[in-house]
Chain A
Amino acid sequence: MFQNFDFGVVASSLPYLFGQGMVFTLTLTALAATGGVVFGTLLAMMRLSGVPGLWHAAKLYVELMRSLPLVLVIFWFYFLVPYIGAWMTGSPNPIQVGAFTSALITFTLFEAAYFAEIMRAGIQSIPKGQTAAAQALGMGYAQTMRLVVLPQAFRNMLPLLLTQTIVLFQDTSLVYVLSLTDFLGAASKVAQRDGRLVEMYLFAALVYFAVCLAASFLVRRLQARVAIIR
C-alpha cells in the first residue's frame, strides 16, 4: 500500500515545516495562552466580584465568545480591528495591524473566555475559610487574592488550563483563513506544490499527535509536582 509513497518530500521540507510553520504555531499558542490567562483571570474576578456592572459585562462577554465559532471570530476581528484601531486613535483610515497581530488578538480574546470559566471554577474551589483566614490576618482583597486564593486556584486549575492550551495549539491551524502559514499551513503548501497530499497530511497529523501526547504527559508530571499536599 505504501509503495507509491514518497516520504522524501517530508524530509526535504523539514526545515521549512518546523523552522517557519511550527515556530509560528508555537509562538501564537504561547502568546495567546499567556494573554488569555491574564485577561481570563481578570474576567473571572469580575464575574466573582459581586459588583453588578462588572459581573454582567464579564458574563455577557464569556457567553458571547463561547457561542461563536472560532473561525467566525477570526474573520470578524480581522476586518474589525483596523476600524477599532482607527476609532481609538482618531485616524481617518483603518489601521492595518497585520494578519498576525489580528490573529493574536483574536485568539487571546477568544481563549480568555474559556480560561475565565476554568479560573472561575478554580477560584470558587478554594474554601471560604481560606479567604476568611487571610482577612483575619489583616490582608486586604488584593493580598488575599494574590497570596492565598490565586496560588492555590492555579495549582488546582493547572491540568485544565494546560489541556485548554493544547486545544488552542490545535486551533491555531485555523489561521489559514487569514492566509497565515502555521505548521499545518506549511505542510499544506508543500503538499499542494509537490502533489504529495497523503504523505504531508499524514506527517502533519503524526506531528500534532506527538506534540499533544507529549504535552499531556508533561501536564500529568507537572500536576504531580505542584499538587498541594492535603
Chain B
Amino acid sequence: MTDSPITGSTATPAPAAAAQAAPSDSGLQPGTLIEPARQRAPGTAMIAIDAISKWYGDFRVLHECTTAVAKGEVVVVCGPSGSGKSTLIKCVNALEPFQKGQITVDGTKIADKATNLPKLRSRVGMVFQHFELFPHLSITDNLTIAQRKVLGRPKEEAHKRGLDLLARVGLSAHAKKFPGQLSGGQQQRVAIARALAMNPVVMLFDEPTSALDPEMVGEVLDVMVELAREGMTMMVVTHEMGFARKVADRVIFMDQGEIVEDAGKDDFFGKPRSERAQTFLSKILQH
C-alpha cells in the first residue's frame, strides 16, 4: 500500500486505483463534479456531534446540534454569518466549551472531565481563518515546534516531516523565512502543512479562505481538494460552494445556531428543502 502523499497516514488509505483516477495535479475546473474517491466506512463516525447547545450568557449560540462525520468523509458547513458554524467547528476540538450535549472524536468524549484535551487536540488538525502561524518562528520552526514539544519527535524526524509537507504544498523555497514574509495564501498553505505534520485523524477548517485576497483562494483550495481526494476526514466551514460541489460528501446548512439542513451534496445543491437554505444559496450563488 502506498502512503497518501499529503497525509502520509495509513489510517485513511486512498485506494491506488482512485489515486490514478484523480491525479493531484489535474487542472481543476470550477463546477465539475468529480466523485471523491475514498474508502468509506459507514457507521464508523470520526466525529459524532450529539445534541450540543451553547449559550453566551442568555444568548443561545448553538441549539441542539446533531450530526456526524464518518471516516474519510468531507463535510462542508455553511450558513450566514452569526449562524454558529465557526462556533460549532471550534467545539469539535474543544477550543469552545459547550454547556449541553456531547461530542465524540475518534472514540474520545470531549465533554468528559477525564479527557486529556491537549492530547485529543494533537490528533485533530485545525486551520484558522487568519492562519495563526507563529510570527516569531521561522516556517521550519512553525512546522516542527508542536511535533517536537507535543509529540516528542526527535528533531531530525520532525524536520524531515515538516519539510516533506512544505514541499507537498509547494513552498520548499520558503523554509527559512518568517510568516510575515509570505503572502496570505502561502501562509495558509504552511498552516495546513503544520496541522498535517501532527498526523491528524481529522482536519477542521474554519473559513480557511475568507481572509485571503481573491487571487490566493485557488492555491489554498487546491491543497484542500487534494487532501480530500487522498481520503482525509474533513470538516470545512466555508462559503466556497465551488469547493463544496467538487469534493464534499455532505453539506450542513446552519442558521441561528441550528442545523437547518444536513444533506448529501447533490441533494443540497439540487433541491434544498428548507426555505432558509434556498434563500442563502440564491444569495451566494447569484454572483
Contacts and interface: CB of A to CB of B under 8 A. Distances in A.
Interface of A: 127, 129-130, 132-140, 143, 147-148, 151-152, 155, 228-230
A132 B136 contact: no
Interface of B: 90, 93, 95, 118-119, 121-126, 128, 130, 132-136, 145-146, 149-151, 178-181, 194-195, 198
B132 A228 contact: no
A134 to B, nearest CB: 8
Given A129-B130, A143-B150, A147-B145, 17 more contacts: A127-B130, A127-B132, A132-B90, A133-B126, A135-B95, A135-B121, A136-B95, A136-B126, A136-B195, A137-B146, A137-B150, A138-B118, A138-B119, A151-B136, A228-B135, A229-B179, A229-B181
Contacts of B133: 133
Most A-side CB within 10 Å, residue of B125, B150, B181: B150
B180 A229 contact: yes
Contacts of B150: 137-139, 143
Contact of B128 (A133, A140, A143, A228): A133
A230 B149 contact: no
A133 B119 CA distance: 14
Contacts of A230: 135, 180
30 contacts: A127-B130, A127-B132, A129-B132, A130-B132, A132-B95, A133-B128, A133-B134, A135-B118, A136-B95, A136-B121, A136-B124, A136-B128, A137-B146, A137-B150, A137-B194, A138-B121, A138-B122, A138-B123, A138-B151, A139-B118, A139-B150, A143-B149, A147-B145, A147-B149, A228-B135, A228-B136, A228-B180, A229-B179, A229-B180, A230-B180
B146 A138 contact: yes
A139 B133 CA distance: 14
Nearest to B145: A147
Nearest to B132: A133
A130 B179 CA distance: 13
A207 B133 CA distance: 45
Contacts of B118: 135, 138-140
Contacts of B146: 137-139
Given A139-B149, A143-B150, A130 B134 contact: yes
B122 to A, nearest CB: 3
B139 to A, nearest CB: 12
Nearest to A130: B132
A152 B122 contact: no
Given A129-B130, A143-B149, A229-B178, A137 B121 contact: yes
Nearest to A141: B118
B86 to A, nearest CB: 11
A230 to B, nearest CB: 5
Contact of A129 (B119, B125, B128): B128
Nearest to A152: B136
A76 B253 CA distance: 66
Scoring A133, A136, A148, A229 by chain B CB atoms within 10 A of each residue's CB, the highest score goes to: A136
A229 B156 CA distance: 27
